[in-house]
Structure 1
Amino acid sequence: MNPSLRYIQGYPEHIITPITQLVESGKLNNWFEQRYPTKHAIQSEKALFEYTMAIKNRFMRKSAPLSKVIYDPKIHLINNALGLHSYVNRVQGNKVKSKNEIRIASVFKDAPEPLLRMLIVHELAHLKEKDHNKAFYQLCCHMEPEYHQLELDARLFIMYLENQ
């Protein structure tokens, strides 16, 4: 089994089979480049924060505030981590203050914009739903109707990067 196929483990056979054929025939990269011919222009962390806030303000205006959104070179693609949402609770007097941060794997600096948007949507959904449950995925699909396809395509993007 090709090691890059680990990114699509758990998907149904009718999805895995054509992807396996693309990989084995050496056509995955051409397929991916035709599907996503351009990369996004969101290179600075300021631009990433503004991009994230625009999505948050459109769909989740009343959710907890974000203190930081950054590209993180330390996020390795181990355990399928493409982005991280973290929150830190600090006690100040008799109040507990929470800081929410989103960190996106730096390999997504060179990704197509829809894949970056899917990651942002995923991490924003964690502001309301901590677990990957039905409500979490409903919220993701509300913010990005093509969420599930883009999630698969993000995995294919990682496979694409490994095949370059």
Structure 2
Amino acid sequence: MHRLKYISHYPSHIQHQVQELLDQNKLGTILQKKYPAIHSFQSNKALYDFAIDIKNSYMRKSSPLSKVQYSDKISALNALGLHTRISRVHGGKLKAKKEIKIDSRFKQMPLEFLRMIVVHELAHLKEMDHNKAFYQLCEYMEPNYHQYELDLRLYLTFLDISDS
């Protein structure tokens, strides 16, 4: 029996299905068929451009992003992505900067997972809490958001078990 920390809050019938797939060594094969290739956004500049394209398509009027980058440090915080708001006094004015950091593991993941986490962090520009409006915004930007989130959790479960 494997520890299913990424899906521990999902209903028990889903956890049992995942456990069966793990026991039968089928989870990795299923995920590989569904998501066969990794994306090409490997640099911080490419990631920034990718995020800005999504932002400009769906959230044109929201405040600008000053930085979007991969980070090796946020996995220590048990996070996959992180949004920050930094306010600094610049001259006589208060300047606000908004930044997004994405776990570096996403460099080696399918495009759908990268898009899902970028959409998640962009949604925090408008909605700070994980509430109904937040998830509606995520679904507006990515209609398959919830499926990709579940599949990402399965993918991370598979990676954890493969590494042990």
Q: Percent identity?
A: 54
Query: Which of residues 150, 155, 158 in structure 2 aligns to 1:157?
Result: 155
Tell me how far 1:149 sits from its aligned partner.
0.8
1:60-82 CA-to-partner distances (Å, cap 9, x unmatched) read 00101101111101121654x11
1:120 counterpart = 2:118:
yes
| In structure 1, C-alpha distance between the alignment counterparts of 2:151 and 2:83, rounded to whole Å | 21
Q: Which amino acid aligns with 2:67?
A: K
- Greater mean alpha carbon deviation, residues 115-124 or residues 85-94: 85-94
Residues 5 and 157, structure 2, Cα contact 8 Å, conserved in 1: no
| In structure 1, C-alpha distance between the alignment counterparts of 2:13 and 2:145, rounded to whole Å | 19
- Greater mean alpha carbon deviation, residues 105-114 or residues 152-161: 152-161
Query: What is the TM-score with the length of structure 1 in the denominator?
Result: 0.93
Gaps of 5+ in 1: none
1:19-78 CA-to-partner distances (Å, cap 9, x unmatched) read 111112222111111111111111011100000000000000010110111110112165
Query: What is the TM-score with the length of structure 2 in the denominator?
Result: 0.93
1:111 counterpart = 2:109:
yes
Q: Which amino acid aligns with 2:2?
A: N
- Greater mean alpha carbon deviation, residues 43-52 or residues 28-37: 28-37
- Greater mean alpha carbon deviation, residues 35-44 or residues 70-79: 70-79
1:122-142 CA-to-partner distances (Å, cap 9, x unmatched) read 000000001101110010000
Tell me how far 1:95 sits from its aligned partner.
2.5
Q: Residue 9 of structure 1 aligns with which residue? A: 8
- Greater mean alpha carbon deviation, residues 90-99 or residues 115-124: 90-99
| In structure 2, C-alpha distance between the alignment counterparts of 1:110 and 1:135, rounded to whole Å | 30
Tell me how far 1:157 sits from its aligned partner.
1.6
1:99 counterpart = 2:97:
yes
| In structure 2, C-alpha distance between the alignment counterparts of 1:144 and 1:77, rounded to whole Å | 27
- Greater mean alpha carbon deviation, residues 18-27 or residues 97-106: 18-27
| In structure 2, C-alpha distance between the alignment counterparts of 1:48 and 1:160, rounded to whole Å | 25
| In structure 2, C-alpha distance between the alignment counterparts of 1:163 and 1:24, rounded to whole Å | 11
Gaps of 5+ in 2: none
Say how many residue pairs are matched: 162
Structure-to-structure mapping, 1:61-76, within 5 angstroms: 61-76=60-75
